[in-house]
Chain A
């Protein structure tokens, strides 16, 4: 029986579950709207608009839980990066995923209660949670109240630019989702990380 660590406190698991469900709803409805077609649709347009709006608002509230939680609990330390030597650490982790992992090498940055993310995860999670999601919220809320958007910017319609930025960020989250899910299968077993995010405990390698 391998040793277990308690990595995901209740609030992060609740936040993560809501985040996952809402992001999936937003991706599906976002695609339905962007590639709207009267003959083929996953969710019909007016339902997609309504679901997307409600899910977007709920995700913002959920994000506040994450944001405030990371300020007031120790979970925030996982998102604080030391820039010094970051390039080298990222390279080591990429090398591990590309070669070391297959050779059966030990992970260069094993999971501990002090640092549950490896450098590559840390950079991508910080990028997604404090960069991409933030831009999505700003542009998404702006599109809910389009009267506040600049009419023209650099000769383009302000709404057009806001919407395109929203779509680009949406695609990045979509790409992130696939990588996130795949990397999650690289735990002790293919399913162990999925169990961890449900019960909070992770096995040590």
Chain B
């Protein structure tokens, strides 16, 4: 009996340190993560474990031999916000669904940095479930884009679309305003940041506002349209154009947008216009009227025709009066 009791106490003593360690992790998952050079800490819910470091501003490393503990800043590009991840479209994915098993080892091996990441097409392509979004078409357009061609294939989907935070904006947005901001922020992440831009190019990054000096009502334009309205080749196959063209090919002619055949109908308002076409039948005048106003493109049929009719009736009245004046010679 005594030997059983001794064995029990001994096993408690041996087991206790790891229990204590787990307790400190579970009780306070949002605090500074405790991460040793100890693979045993990797548990089943691996995104929780990954996020204990990658979801935090700081992480600590511990040398279990010397007992030395260091607190380190988690690099911004390695950080994944829990809020953003769990509200993104990929929220129910396990980290290892996309990342290599090798990441279960600490510290992470250097060669993992060269691991090729999945592209959108790898999961979403050639799948009936996603057929209506035409990921294959998106991939084709993307491969023709200046980003892809200039970087010899090094430029992937993830440079613009962060898979950890990705949300569907254009399809679900009630107002175009919201997805315009999201879309433009995607471009400005690099084109508004010399540091990030420098990762891809040795060219000096010019200021976005300076480059668009020629635009009248500049702020309104940059808030009301997406960069891709002018900087992509628009096709009918995909909802959001991915064929980003060199800057010399950008739209610079006002009437391309400000006219009845506005290219915005096929780009910015593509989704709304398709919806409205199926709902009302025709015409951009109806389509664009609720949410936005583009001079020359938005023609409220009622006002445009009403105005012309009023002018015609006035001229008709004048003509009749004139005829009587001529007849009566007054």
Residues of A within 8 A of B (CB): 33-38, 41, 44-46, 49-50, 97, 101-102, 104, 146-147, 151, 155-157, 159-160, 163-164, 167-168, 171-172, 174-175, 178-179, 182
Contacts and interface: CB of A to CB of B under 8 A. Distances in A.
A151 B177 CA distance: 10
A167 B303 contact: yes
B258 A160 contact: no
Given A45-B258, A179-B318, A33 B295 contact: yes
Contacts, number: 98
A36 B254 CA distance: 10
A80 to B, nearest CB: 27
Given A33-B295, A102-B330, A146 B220 contact: yes
Interface in B270-311: 289-293, 295-300, 303-304, 306-307, 310-311
A178 B324 contact: no
Of listed A50, A97, A157, A168, residue having the most chain B CB within 10 A: A157
Classify the interface of chain A: helix, strand, loop or mixed.
Answer: helix
Contact of A34 (B256, B304, B321): B304
A38 B255 contact: yes
Contacts of A174: 307, 311
B311 A102 contact: no
A104 B330 contact: yes
Contacts of A163: 293, 295, 298
Interface string B208-231: 000000001101100000000000
A157 B253 contact: no
Interface string B96-133: 00000000000000000000000000000000000000
Nearest to B177: A151
Contacts of B177: 151
A146 B300 CA distance: 19
B260 interface: yes
Contacts of A172: 310
Contacts of B314: 175, 178-179
A167 B306 CA distance: 11
B77 interface: no
A114 B291 CA distance: 51
B299 A34 contact: yes
Given A34-B295, A45-B296, A102-B324, A157 B310 contact: no
B21 to A, nearest CB: 53
Contacts of A179: 314, 318
Contacts of A157: 290-293
Contact of B259 (A37, A50, A97, A147): A37
Contact of A46 (B254, B298, B306): B254
Contacts of B298: 160, 163
B291 A164 contact: no
B89 interface: no
Contacts of B217: 146
B315 interface: yes
B20 interface: no
Nearest to A165: B303
Contacts of A37: 255, 259-260
Contacts of B5: none
Contacts of B315: 178
Interface string B161-191: 0000000000000000100000000000000
Interface string B251-270: 00111101111000000000
B6 interface: no
A33 B262 CA distance: 13
A34 B258 CA distance: 9
Nearest to B176: A157
A46 to B, nearest CB: 5
A38 B263 CA distance: 12
A101 B324 CA distance: 10
B65 interface: no
Given A35-B299, A36-B259, A178-B314, 13 more contacts: A34-B296, A34-B304, A36-B254, A37-B260, A45-B259, A49-B254, A50-B216, A146-B217, A146-B220, A157-B290, A159-B292, A164-B300, A175-B311
